[in-house]
Amino acid sequence: MHKLPDNIQPSRWKVGENGLEVQWLHDSHLSFYNWDFLETYIKGERPEPENVPLKYFGAAGHPDSSIEYEEFGKNERQAVGRLTDMIRRNGFALVTGVPTETAATTEDLLEKITFIRRTHYGGFYDFIPDLALADAAYTNEPLPVHTDNTYFSDPAGIQAFHLLSHTDPSSGGGSETTLGGETLLVDGFYAAELLRKECPDSFNTLASFRFPCHASGNEGIAISPDMLYPVLELDLDQNTVHRIRWNPNDRGVIPLGEDTMKWYEAEKKYHEILRREELVYQFQLKPGTVLIFDNWRVLHGRTAFTGMRRICGGYLNRDDFISRWRNTNFGKREIFRQVIGE
């Protein structure tokens, strides 16, 4: 028979084989709690999270990482479920066959997952290279792999890109394959596991040493997170990497102390792993294919390019993405078990 902790003293209760019946003082309302629900809280445990085995990727990408846009017209809920589950497990997904006549189609696709997050750059973006925006992303220079929003307390969980067009008027045309701008993706969680195996001390340093980040290149903008964070943020059990913050362009002054040189050595080792040929998935995005990826896990970059590229896309909040993933991949009872332990 189950026994309640001594410090729980409702007005009246009845302990039964299937659960606990409680009558409340203020309105005499009767509540019933089954033992499956109470077990977690009696033991002081957290509800069991989703058991999602992650599929690491390297230079070959993932064989199961794309979905046709037309699937969303046939069964939107099912298609969104497939898309979000690919991103959750694989780190990224490609939606092919997306119309390019207007960026609004891409915006609508992202909003099938959840609302688009606004930042100091705006909401849904549709841009060409523009140095006035004071960000390396708006140039045609190469971008080493990085995560976005390291300067936010809550970096955007999901990011999307759609190459609407890429031309070079000065050369009389050209194609995406000759103009450059290839996309680079690296599985940061996979790289972190390699770091843990090859150099545990460096892994522990990147998981513990905290440093400042900021966004202050634009007039009137001075953004920094609520506190200092490490490169590798671990889960509550301090075992699994939960989120990565990696963007040298956004870093502030590294704190000076007895562990500073250890951090630089660890940073150098992780940087070396991220650049390994077998880890970098390099491919050419083409108009009609939307890339959506986990910004907490996957580092992205690009090679240099010539000509004029028009890119659209946006950020999605992590919590809202996970909510949509749950509700399109699990039944109501399983969702409640994950969220509140019922």
Assess whether pLDDT exceeds 60 at residue 173: no
89 with 129, same domain: the answer is yes
Q: Is position 342 within any domain? A: no
Q: Are residues 242 and 309 in the same domain?
A: yes
Q: Both 40 and 163 in a single domain? A: no
Q: Which helix (H) or strand (E) holds 320?
A: helix 318-329
* pLDDT per position as a tens digit, 10-34: 567 778 778 888 876 656 778 888 8
92 & 11 share domain? no
In a domain, 205, yes or no: yes
Q: Which residue range is the domain that position 26 belongs to?
A: 1-45
Note whether residue 52 is domain-resident.
Answer: no
Question: What is the predicted pLDDT for the residue at 85?
Answer: 97
| Phi (first) and psi of residue 201, to 5 degrees | -65, -40
4 and 128, same structural domain? no
Residues 38 and 154 in one domain: no
Q: For 233-243, give one letter per residue: b (16+ CB within 10 A) or e.
A: ebeeeeeebeb
In a domain, 222, yes or no: yes
Residues 88 and 213 in one domain: yes
User: Do 76 and 199 belong together in one domain?
Assistant: yes
Q: Are residues 34 and 70 in the same domain?
A: no
Beta-bridge mates of residue 281: 185
300 occurs within a structural domain: yes
pTM, whole model, 2 decimals? 0.87
Arithmetic mean of pLDDT, 305-332: 94
Whether residues 89 and 38 fall in one domain:
no
Distance of CA 314 to the CA centre of its chain: 13
Give the whole-angstrom CA distance, residue 164 versus residue 295: 21
Terminal-to-terminal C-alpha distance of the chain: 19
| Rounded-to-integer distance, Cα 191 and Cα 210, Å | 19
For residue 281, the tally of other CB atoms under 10 A from its CB is 20
- Number of compact structural domains in the chain: 2
